[in-house]
């Protein structure tokens, strides 16, 4: 049996497994239904400020297992639903970022930089259309790469990345993000260091929880979701409400952005953003194919590269459509390529991929690893059939994205009609409730509020929150990689400089900081 | 443009925090050292990561202060006494809302028991309608309504209604479809 | 199925059946007065978490109890233990952790904040299938091949997910006069990833290697349990190598000290009846992920805990 036989079997399974209904004489398989439900649900979740795809996946995985069970038959419906959520939430995530300046996940943070200024100029509709077009394009490109290169790429990459290279690569990403985002390199680096410090509280290898001040509250480490959502969402809610409070005191009214600008997506617009979409789709796909590096980095790199390329009349950060396009194409392009390390090595690159691995771990019949793409003469490799079934589900979700996705996503834009001073307090309660639902103790609410205050102060003192969030997420990975590299090399103090690749990464990290520090200093 | 004293203040505060962490917090509250040798093997200890980061903070704070003084660009910070006034009001609303959320249910159940109701403790009723919704609905309404009232600087019927509807809708969103999710404060009981 | 595995299955089923019967009458007598909080000391979504949630769902279905699962993770179960300790002992709050939480992990820290006497142990549910694992493509068949390779001058990187397993690896090094570069990871899944990716040569894995072993990609080189591994009955145990420690662990349900005796029996009996009923999803999952239920309760469980503490103390002395 050749590869093409497996591809065909995968496609057939997706469209024929256990039909549940008939539409116009065509049987609708359970897998198709689950992808559609997941995709539409994902858009709603992504478009709701304060919610994101990972949260929806976390809630739905146990429910799906209860419904479908653990047999191999459950694999494609469950994974199809998860993939639907993943893709829907990526597209939908642009909605709150553009309309309210409140990104649901760190991935869409860079979308706010130009998306929200466009809304203030009255071009919310255009911003949403550009986000959808770029997101769907990046997604398509990535899926094509996945379909053609999956088996070969991941194994090649993994061969070249050992512990020291992984540690050096994380250092490079952090240096890059700190230096590029925000208006001062040193502020960016301080924010990143602070984020790392917060991540070190209560963690570590000792049985004594370090820096926990003897409290039970800090002993388990600060919960990721409380810190990240506190800084990203509550910080923005506090700052935005204060702005409106000041405006009301000064003028006795609160202005709402008009919708009078040019809101169409014209051929001219597409021509203008196309180079940025292409560049970002490539970056996102490459980053996605690297094991263990997330979509947030892809979005940041896409945006930063776009800013270098850009020579238009509207600069990045003041409502340039190219900025929205560069970010959305990059973060969407991660999704497909990310399945390369997931399926062939079982190593996730972002939170969404973690849930796909958890699902395959719980349901029998699919074991992510090199065996997935192994061909045996005269035999069907059922794991490869599942893998290609999964790819088919992704392409199908992508078609949904092009057809109904844009319309459905823009219909979520109705939320812009709600006055912001009414909506943001609801977002506050929604976020606190979502956090409590995941960690049911009042303490997690207090921690979230504290980090909301931190996020507010950072905004008021002009510190960028992105380096803080990324450093917080990557800090423990970095510490683990460094410790593991040190142990694995038998306590070589120069382990970070043990191979040309890691020396290259470290040198690049220093160069990035020096370059941007000098560039900014001269302004 | 003159340099902004707030940036220097931040730099000084960060440096002071980092020095305190290096001198007192890390030695007192981390078990293993920067590098440990045990089982005839040298490994990195738990103190390594926070120590490196704290040293980095001192350095970055010094460089930030230097660049602010040399460039005199102004930091663009907008934190002033109006901000403090707003945050104080907002914090009061959140405190009242969360207090109502935590205590309404148990207080109502205690009151019913005191009046001879004998319905059991709140701990036993934390998954029973209507008791499980009392705190969230009242606290959530006050939180949302109060926050809007602070910003709009008036409390209208529409504002109160927004609070009630928001709390009701969110209750339905989280509690009805998902059997295992708890609304505040029922996980603490 | 070999006779050995048939016999162990039959014994386990028989024991569990007897337990279920003896607990049956008590279970009828005890009914929780409200919803039960189940604190899970494992991260959401993993095998241990799935097991706990499935047991909870099944108890709700068959017993009509209301159970609210909640993940309380950190420090090998210590965070959950400290929180559970101070909860009311009315049977409405229970926790699920591993035996190591009340053994090595508790002894390894100066101020654990809890002791083994702070809890009432209800029942175990299943056990690990701990082994040292390598990729089949390395060509090693048993731990002896790894030791020979290390003696021949090769650098052997060994992945471990806890300090206890690193300690036991060190006793192997001492015994055979070799040196491994031991690398500590957070969790068995990461060790397995590192083995697959070639970042380490061998590593401790607690049961999730079964799929890979069945597929022929991975191979168990040694059993860390006191018995041979169900899936690889040909490789020796630690004891057979002359190393008197138990690297295995069992999942167990605990409650704050002094819950009513009928509640303790009632919960143990209810869990046993769920896990021995082959038609439940919980039982099917435990069979597939952990090779079947292991139900130990009452004084036998108390002995298991105190034996574990004694063994951990001995291990710590030996590796000081």
pLDDT in tens, A432-446: 988 888 788 899 999
How far is residue A65's CA from residue C54's CA, in Å, rounded to a whole number? 10
Which one, of A519, A412, A303, lies nearest residue A43 by Cα?
A412
Task: For residue B165, give the H/E element and its range.
Answer: helix B157-175
Which of C68, C109, C166 minimises the CB distance to B180? C68
Which one, of C280, C291, C93, lies nearest residue C271 by Cα?
C280
> So what's the ipTM on this one?
0.95
Which of B21, B147, B167 minimises the CB distance to A241? B147
Architecture of domain C31-127+249-318: 3-Layer(aba) Sandwich (3.40)
pLDDT for A242: 94
Residue A383 near residue A389, CB atoms below 8 Å: no
Whether the per-residue pLDDT at A377 is higher than 80: the answer is no
Whether the per-residue pLDDT at C16 is higher than 70: the answer is no
Q: Which residues contact C298 (CB under 8 A, 6 or more apart)?
A: C268
Whether the per-residue pLDDT at A163 is higher than 70: the answer is yes
Which one, of C237, C236, C198, lies nearest residue C218 by Cα?
C198
Whether the per-residue pLDDT at B8 is higher than 60: the answer is yes
Q: Which residues contact C7 (CB under 8 A, 6 or more apart)?
A: none
| Confidence category of residue A182, pLDDT binned at 50, 70, 90 | low
pLDDT for A497: 86
Tell me whether the CATH fold assigned to C31-127+249-318 matches the one assigned to C131-241: yes
The full set of domain ranges for chain C reads 31-127+249-318, 131-241
Site of tokens 């904040």: C113
User: Distance (Å) from the C-alpha of residue B168 to the closest C-alpha of chain C?
Assistant: 22
Residue A73 burial (10 A CB sphere; 0-12, 13-18, 19+): middle
A39-48, A50-59, A131-140, C310-319: which range is least confident on average?
Answer: A50-59
pLDDT for A267: 85
Which of C155, C215, C285 minimises the CB distance to A367? C215
Each residue of C122-178: pLDDT tens digit? 999 999 999 999 999 999 999 999 999 999 999 999 999 988 999 999 999 999 999
CB contact under 8 A, C167 and B187: no
Q: Is B74 left (phi over 0), alpha (psi -120 to 50) or beta?
A: left
∠ CA(A233), CA(A237), CA(A238), 5° rounding?
120
CB contact under 8 A, C92 and B182: no
Residue A195 near residue A472, CB atoms below 8 Å: yes
Whether the per-residue pLDDT at A314 is higher than 90: the answer is no
| Confidence category of residue B3, pLDDT binned at 50, 70, 90 | low
How far is residue C135's CA from residue C152's CA, in Å, rounded to a whole number? 20
pLDDT for A523: 34
Query: What is the average per-residue pLDDT within A72-96?
Result: 90
Looking at CATH, the fold of the domain delimited by C131-241 is given as D-Maltodextrin-Binding Protein; domain 2 (3.40.190)
Whether the per-residue pLDDT at C22 is higher than 50: the answer is no
Task: State the angle between helix axes of A3-16 and A382-400 in degrees (0 to 180), rounded to the nearest 10.
Answer: 60
Which of B79, B143, B167 minimises the CB distance to A460? B79
Q: Which residues contact A259 (CB under 8 A, 6 or more apart)?
A: A122, A124, A125, A416
Residues of chain A with C-beta less than 8 angstroms from the C-beta of C46: 358, 361
A252-266, C70-84, C216-230, C235-249: which range is least confident on average?
Answer: A252-266
Of all residues in chain C, the percent with pLDDT exceeding 90 is 64
Start-to-end CA distance of chain A, whole Å, equals: 64
C113 touches A: beta carbon within 8 Å = yes
Give me the helices (H) in A101-123, please.
109-120
| Confidence category of residue B11, pLDDT binned at 50, 70, 90 | very high
The full set of domain ranges for chain A reads 3-246+263-519
DSSP symbol at B4: P
Give me the helices (H) in B3-156, please.
5-20, 26-29, 48-71, 81-114, 122-125, 131-152
Chains interfacing with A (3 or more CB pairs < 8 Å)? B, C
pLDDT for C20: 44
Which one, of A362, A389, A424, lies nearest residue A99 by Cα?
A424
| Confidence category of residue B28, pLDDT binned at 50, 70, 90 | very high
A249-258, C92-101, C292-301: which range is least confident on average?
Answer: A249-258
Please provide the average confidence, as pLDDT, over all residues in chain A: 83
Mutate to test the interface with A, among C75, C78, C97, C201 (most CBs of A within 10 A): C75
Residues of chain B with C-beta less than 8 angstroms from the C-beta of A210: 29-31, 46-47, 50
Query: What is the average per-residue pLDDT within A344-350?
Result: 64
| Confidence category of residue A181, pLDDT binned at 50, 70, 90 | low
Task: For residue A474, give the H/E element and its range.
Answer: helix A465-488
pLDDT for C14: 46
Residue A104 near residue A48, CB atoms below 8 Å: yes
Read off the tokens for C56.
Answer: 């909870």
Please provide the average confidence, as pLDDT, over all residues in chain B: 90
Residue B188 near residue A440, CB atoms below 8 Å: yes
Which one, of C5, C7, C18, C2, lies nearest residue C276 by Cα?
C18
pLDDT for C285: 86
Whether the per-residue pLDDT at B159 is higher than 80: the answer is yes
Which one, of A467, A520, A505, lies nearest residue A177 by Cα?
A467
Whether the per-residue pLDDT at C12 is higher than 50: the answer is no
How far is residue A384's CA from residue A366's CA, in Å, rounded to a whole number? 9
Chains interfacing with C (3 or more CB pairs < 8 Å)? A, B
Site of tokens 């091949």: C145
pLDDT for C214: 84
Please provide the average confidence, as pLDDT, over all residues in chain C: 87
pLDDT for C78: 92
Which of C74, C155, C211 minimises the CB distance to A221? C74
The residue of chain B nearest to residue C316, with distances taken between CA atoms, is: B39
pLDDT for C6: 42
pLDDT for C108: 87
Query: What is the average per-residue pLDDT within A383-389?
Result: 88
Each residue of A93-151: pLDDT tens digit? 898 889 888 776 777 888 988 999 998 888 888 999 999 999 999 999 999 888 887 76
A440 touches C: beta carbon within 8 Å = yes
Whether the per-residue pLDDT at C217 is higher than 90: the answer is no
Whether the per-residue pLDDT at C9 is higher than 70: the answer is no
Of all residues in chain C, the percent with pLDDT exceeding 70 is 90
How far is residue A360's CA from residue A23's CA, in Å, rounded to a whole number? 31
Each residue of A486-516: pLDDT tens digit? 988 888 888 888 889 889 989 988 998 888 7
Which one, of C195, C144, C147, C154, lies nearest residue C173 by Cα?
C147
- For residues A519 and A392, the model is more confident at A392
How far is residue A500's CA from residue A514's CA, in Å, rounded to a whole number? 21
A32-46, A109-123, A184-198, C187-201: which range is least confident on average?
Answer: C187-201
Q: Which residues contact B50 (CB under 8 A, 6 or more apart)?
A: A197, A200, A210, A211, B21, B26, B30
B125 touches C: beta carbon within 8 Å = yes
**The pTM is what?**
0.82
Q: Which residues contact B40 (CB under 8 A, 6 or more apart)?
A: none
pLDDT for B12: 94
| Confidence category of residue B25, pLDDT binned at 50, 70, 90 | very high
pLDDT for C24: 44
Read off the tokens for A128.
Answer: 């949403």
Please provide residue B160's backbone torsions phi and psi, each rounded to the nearest 5 degrees.
Answer: -60, -40
How far is residue C262's CA from residue C255's CA, in Å, rounded to a whole number? 13
CA dihedral of A168, A169, A172, A174, whole degrees rounded to 10: -110
CB contact under 8 A, C110 and B31: yes
Read off the tokens for A442.
Answer: 């009042």
pLDDT for C71: 85
Each residue of A183-220: pLDDT tens digit? 788 999 999 999 999 999 998 888 888 999 988 888 88
Whether the per-residue pLDDT at A395 is higher than 80: the answer is yes
pLDDT for B31: 87
Please provide residue C120's backbone torsions phi and psi, each rounded to the nearest 5 degrees.
Answer: -105, 125
Of all residues in chain A, the percent with pLDDT exceeding 90 is 25
């Amino acid at each position: 049996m050749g590869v093409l036989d497996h591809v065909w079997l995968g496609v057939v399974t997706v469209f024929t497994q256990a039909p549940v209904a008939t539409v116009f004489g065509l049987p609708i398989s359970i897998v198709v239904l689950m992808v559609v439900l997941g995709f539409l649900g994902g858009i709603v979740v992504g478009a709701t400020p304060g919610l994101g795809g990972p949260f929806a996946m976390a809630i739905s995985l146990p429910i799906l297992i209860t419904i479908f069970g653990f047999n191999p038959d459950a694999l494609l419906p469950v994974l199809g639903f998860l993939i639907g959520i993943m893709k829907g939430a990526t597209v939908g995530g642009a909605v709150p970022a553009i309309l309210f300046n409140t990104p649901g996940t760190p991935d869409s943070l860079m979308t706010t930089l130009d998306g929200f200024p466009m809304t203030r100029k009255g071009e919310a509709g255009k911003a949403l259309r550009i986000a959808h077009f770029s997101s769907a394009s990046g997604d398509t490109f990535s899926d094509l790469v996945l379909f053609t290169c999956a088996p070969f790429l991941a194994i090649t990459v993994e061969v070249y990345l050992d512990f020291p290279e992984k540690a050096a690569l994380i250092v490079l990403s952090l240096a890059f993000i700190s230096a590029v985002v925000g208006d001062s390199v040193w502020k960016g680096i301080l924010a990143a260091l602070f984020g790392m410090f917060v991540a070190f509280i209560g963690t570590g290898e000792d049985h004594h929880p370090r820096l926990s001040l003897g409290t039970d509250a800090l002993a388990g480490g600060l919960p990721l979701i409380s810190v990240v959502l506190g800084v990203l969402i509550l910080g923005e809610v506090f700052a935005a409400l204060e702005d409106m409070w000041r405006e009301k005191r000064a003028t006795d009214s609160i202005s709402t952005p008009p919708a009078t600008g040019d809101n169409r997506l014209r051929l001219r617009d597409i021509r203008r953003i196309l180079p940025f979409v292409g560049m970002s789709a490539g970056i996102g796909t490459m980053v996605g194919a690297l094991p263990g590096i997330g979509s947030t980095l892809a979005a940041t790199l896409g945006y930063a590269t776009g800013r270098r390329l850009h020579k238009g009349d509207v600069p990045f950060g003041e409502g340039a459509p190219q900025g929205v396009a560069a970010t959305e194409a990059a973060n969407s392009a991660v999704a497909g390529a990310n399945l390369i390390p997931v399926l062939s090595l079982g190593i996730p690159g972002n939170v969404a991929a973690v849930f796909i691995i958890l699902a395959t771990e719980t349901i029998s019949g699919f074991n992510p690893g090199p065996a997935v793409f192994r061909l045996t003469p005269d035999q069907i490799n059922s794991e490869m059939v599942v893998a290609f079934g999964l790819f088919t589900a992704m392409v199908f979700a992508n078609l949904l994205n092009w057809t109904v996705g844009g319309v459905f996503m823009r219909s979520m834009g109705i939320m812009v009609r709600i006055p912001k001073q009414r909506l943001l307090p609801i977002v506050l309660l929604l976020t606190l409730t979502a956090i409590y639902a995941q960690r049911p103790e009042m303490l997690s609410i207090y921690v979230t509020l504290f980090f909301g205050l931190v996020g507010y102060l950072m905004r008021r003192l002009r510190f960028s929150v992105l380096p803080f969030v990324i450093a917080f997420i990557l800090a423990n990975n970095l510490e683990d990689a460094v410790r593991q590299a040190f142990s694995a090399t038998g306590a070589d103090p120069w382990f970070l400089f043990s191979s040309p690749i890691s020396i290259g990464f470290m040198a690049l990290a220093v160069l990035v900081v020096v370059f941007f520090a000098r560039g900014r200093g001269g302004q | 443009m003159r340099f902004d004293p707030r940036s220097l203040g931040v730099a000084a505060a960060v440096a002071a925090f980092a020095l305190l962490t290096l001198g007192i917090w890390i030695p007192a509250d981390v078990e293993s050292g920067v590098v440990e040798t045990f089982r005839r093997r040298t490994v990195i200890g738990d103190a390594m990561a926070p120590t490196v980061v704290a040293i980095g903070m001192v350095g970055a704070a010094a460089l930030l202060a230097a660049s602010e003084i040399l460039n005199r660009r102004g930091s663009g910070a907008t934190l002033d006494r109006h901000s403090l006034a707003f945050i104080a009001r907002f914090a009061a609303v959140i405190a009242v809302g969360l207090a109502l959320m935590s205590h309404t249910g148990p207080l109502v159940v205690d009151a019913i028991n005191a009046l001879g109701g004998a319905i059991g403790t709140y701990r036993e009723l934390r998954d029973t309608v209507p008791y499980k919704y009392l705190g969230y609905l009242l606290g959530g309404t006050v939180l949302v309504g109060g926050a809007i009232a602070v910003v709009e600087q008036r409390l209208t019927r529409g504002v109160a209604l927004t609070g009630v509807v928001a709390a009701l809708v969110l209750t339905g969103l989280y509690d009805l479809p998902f059997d295992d999710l708890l609304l505040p404060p029922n996980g603490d009981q | 199925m070999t006779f050995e595995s048939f016999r162990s299955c039959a014994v386990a089923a028989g024991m569990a059946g007897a337990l279920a019967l003896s607990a049956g009458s008590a279970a009828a007598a005890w009914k929780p007065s409200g919803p039960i909080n189940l604190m899970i000391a494992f991260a959401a979504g993993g095998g241990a978490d799935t097991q706990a949630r499935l047991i909870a769902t099944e108890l709700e279905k068959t017993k009509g109890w209301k159970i609210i699962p909640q993940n309380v993770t950190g420090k090998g179960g210590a965070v959950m233990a400290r929180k559970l300790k101070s909860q009311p002992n009315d049977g409405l709050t229970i926790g699920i952790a591993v035996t190591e939480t009340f053994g090595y992990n508790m002894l390894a820290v100066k101020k654990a904040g809890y002791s083994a006497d702070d809890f009432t142990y209800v029942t175990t549910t299943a056990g690990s299938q701990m082994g040292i694992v390598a990729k089949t493509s390395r060509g090693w068949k048993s731990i002896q091949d790894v030791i020979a390779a290390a003696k021949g001058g090769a650098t052997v990187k060994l992945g471990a997910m806890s300090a206890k397993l690193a300690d036991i690896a060190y006793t192997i090094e001492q015994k055979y006069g070799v040196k491994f570069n031991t690398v500590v990871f957070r969790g068995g899944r990461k060790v397995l990833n590192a083995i697959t990716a070639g970042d380490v040569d061998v590593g401790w894995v607690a049961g999730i290697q079964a799929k890979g072993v069945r597929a022929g990609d991975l191979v168990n080189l040694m059993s860390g349990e006191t018995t041979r591994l169900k899936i690889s009955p040909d490789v020796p145990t630690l004891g057979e190598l002359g190393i008197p420690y138990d690297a295995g662990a069992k999942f167990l349900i605990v409650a704050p000290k002094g819950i009513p005796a009928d509640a303790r029996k009632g919960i143990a009996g209810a869990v046993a009846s769920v896990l021995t009923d082959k038609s439940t999803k919980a039982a099917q999952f435990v069979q597939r992920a952990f090779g079947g239920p292991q139900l130990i309760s009452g004084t036998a469980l108390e002995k298991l805990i105190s034996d574990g503490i004694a063994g951990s103390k001995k291990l710590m002395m030996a590796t000081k």
